[in-house]
A and B are shown apart, each in its own frame.
Chain A
Amino acid sequence: MGFNTMNSLLKKMVERLSDSPVFLAYRLKQYALRTGKNWDAIASELSVSPDQLGRLALCRPPRSETKLFILDVHSIAEAIPMPVTVLANFLRQQDMLRSYDSDSTSQIAARDRDDHLE
């Protein structure tokens, strides 16, 4: 993900955790792959340092139910630290894109199935 400017132990942790959906490291990796942005660029977009982004990667994704989402985002933003609204917007945007991808895939599969039946 091109995170050469990060604390080396933190970097090793992020690398190891980025394949597990249990961690935000996984979502950040997916975002980097989707957008072609490197670690420093994503950090800049979220108004944090590369190390702070590394700390964010070690957190668990917030729970999806609205009240719990707000609670978790506040707790994460406080721990990093980083602006709550920036984090909330970023995570919501990722959720929307993921569900859009998932819907698109389902629709294409359904269309292929219909075409096949016709």
Chain B
Amino acid sequence: MQLTEDNLAIIHDRLVDQADATAFLAAFDTLQEMLLDHLHRVFPQQRTEDCEDIVAEMLTNYFNNPAQFDPAKSRLDAYLRMAVSGDMKNLLEKEKRIKEKVPFNLDQLEENGVADQALTRNNDQDRFVEDQALANALTQPRFEALLDKLNASDQAVVQLMIGSERQTARYAEVLGIAQQPIEEQRQIVKRAKDRLTKWLKRQLMLDGF
């Protein structure tokens, strides 16, 4: 379908009409390529996956609530292009802030379970917001203040997690369980890491990040 003003108006009307079984599919077919092309053109350095995430999020929001667009104010394609551009700019700004503020590698923290599934996440957007907030919260002084609240062995466990330590033996050593059977060590270490991960996230949440 051509992106004429009439066709775009038809697409929008079909979405608003709740009886049309194929309205979403028709809108997806018509709009997705235009939006991806737009993002690739305006942000040529950006990864395709990021562009797709933004287009998917925007179309999902629009499909779930088509009334958010007011045809009297603008054309649908202009509205959606502006929306995805805005989302991409926000993403780039957030990524920039993460690089500036985070003393550790957030991916490394996630590998060790700090950004685990302890909190309910409704969708990818929530997860992104949450990770962003976590990243902003983990400045060095704040992290050290949190560590001070823990006992010595828990502090040591967190330091090992931050250092990407993977060997159970190292954790068993600082937890004082090195003499126990290896399977028990694994279970105790896993519980300790899960507990500390959740505690750390809870503390950051309570601090209002």
Chain A positions within 8 Å of B49 at CB level? 8
Q: Which residues of A are at the interface with B, using a C-beta cutoff of 8 A?
A: 8-10, 12-13, 16-17, 19-20, 22-23, 55, 58-63, 68, 72, 75-76, 79
Contact at A59–B24, with CB atoms within 8 Å? yes
What is the bound-complex CA distance between A40 and B20, given in angstroms? 27
Contact at B25–A9, with CB atoms within 8 Å? no
Residue B52 is within 8 A (CB to CB) of chain A in the complex:
yes
Chain A positions within 8 Å of B204 at CB level? none
Contact at B20–A16, with CB atoms within 8 Å? no
Residue of B nearest to A25 (CB): B24
Contact at B60–A60, with CB atoms within 8 Å? no
Chain B positions within 8 Å of A10 at CB level? 28
Contact at A12–B21, with CB atoms within 8 Å? no
Q: Which residues of B are at the interface with A, using a C-beta cutoff of 8 A?
A: 18-26, 28, 32, 36, 49, 52-53, 55-57, 59-60, 63-64, 123-124
Contact at B123–A16, with CB atoms within 8 Å? yes
Contact at B56–A12, with CB atoms within 8 Å? yes
Chain B positions within 8 Å of A79 at CB level? 22, 25-26
Q: Which of A17, A19, A60 contacts B23 (CB 8 A)?
A: A60
Q: Which of B24, B26, B32 contacts A9 (CB 8 A)?
A: B32
Q: Which of B22, B26, B56, B64 contacts A20 (CB 8 A)?
A: B64
Q: Kindly list 12 other residue pairs between chains A and B, CB separation below 8 angstroms, not including A9-B32, A12-B53, A16-B56.
A: A9-B36, A12-B52, A13-B59, A16-B57, A16-B123, A23-B24, A60-B18, A61-B21, A72-B21, A75-B21, A76-B21, A79-B26
A interface majority secondary structure: helix
Chain A positions within 8 Å of B24 at CB level? 23, 58-60
Contact at A60–B20, with CB atoms within 8 Å? yes
Distance (Å) between the CB of B190 and the closest chain A CB? Answer: 27
Distance (Å) between the CB of B61 and the closest chain A CB? Answer: 9
Q: Which of A22, A55, A61, A72 contacts B64 (CB 8 A)?
A: A22
A–B pairs, 20, beta carbons within 8 Å: A9-B32, A9-B36, A9-B55, A9-B56, A12-B52, A13-B56, A13-B60, A17-B63, A19-B123, A59-B21, A60-B20, A60-B21, A60-B24, A62-B21, A72-B21, A75-B21, A75-B22, A76-B21, A76-B22, A79-B22
What is the bound-complex CA distance between A10 and B56, given in angstroms? 8
Chain A positions within 8 Å of B32 at CB level? 9
What is the bound-complex CA distance between A12 and B124, given in angstroms? 10
Closest CB pairs A-B (n = 6): A12-B56, A72-B21, A16-B60, A79-B22, A58-B25, A9-B52
Distance (Å) between the CB of A84 and the closest chain B CB? Answer: 13
Q: Which of B19, B28, B64 contacts A58 (CB 8 A)?
A: B28
